[in-house]
Amino acid sequence: MFHLRAEAPGDGPAIEQLLDRAFGPERRAKASYALRDGVPAVAELARVAVTADGGRLVGTVRYWPIAVGEDAALLLGPLGVEPARRGRGIGRALLRASLAAVRARAVLLVGDPAYYGPLGFAPAPPTTIMPGEDPARLLVDAAGPPPPAGTLRPWPAGARATPTGAAAAAE
């Protein structure tokens, strides 16, 4: 059994350890990590799954603001689940709960179409481009707004993001 909650400020080290177990430390070399480098995740959207018997962290999902062409969007990921607990609905539950909060903004992710397709993701249009990534793995939440056309770029330095991914003035 598990339950979902908002990510807490102290969850960072446990999340990084879980992601290393789920994807390996080489995950940081992926093109999607370059879009996240130096940019904080949208804290209001970050969720974790914890065990019901003690609160051990067993799943995580985060969203990152990104620029696409002249617009903003959200990059979902990583969606990670403790390897020994895969297949129990943790990833699907995290995905559904977190997407419910962001339907007003285009959500993109890099992932396996066989896993994400049944969860409502479709290939991004060819006008939405992520350098360094296989275009077949760039997916968009089909229930949300379509992604802007253009190349995915890191979020502008100094800008912070609202839960919808829109820019807000730097503090």
Q: What is the mean pLDDT of residues 51-68?
A: 93
**Among residues of the chain, what percentage have pLDDT more than 90?**
73
The pLDDT-based confidence of 166 (bands split at 50, 70, 90) is low
In CATH, the architecture of 2-158 is 3-Layer(aba) Sandwich (3.40)
Note whether 65 and 157 are within 8 A (CB): no
For the chain, the distance separating the N- and C-terminal CA atoms, rounded to the nearest angstrom, is 40
User: What residue spans of 31-126 are helical by DSSP H?
Assistant: 31-36, 90-99, 113-116
Cα(29)–Cα(53) distance, integer angstroms: 35
More confident residue, 27 or 5: 5
Q: Is residue 171's pLDDT more than 60?
A: no
Q: What is the mean pLDDT of residues 74-78?
A: 94
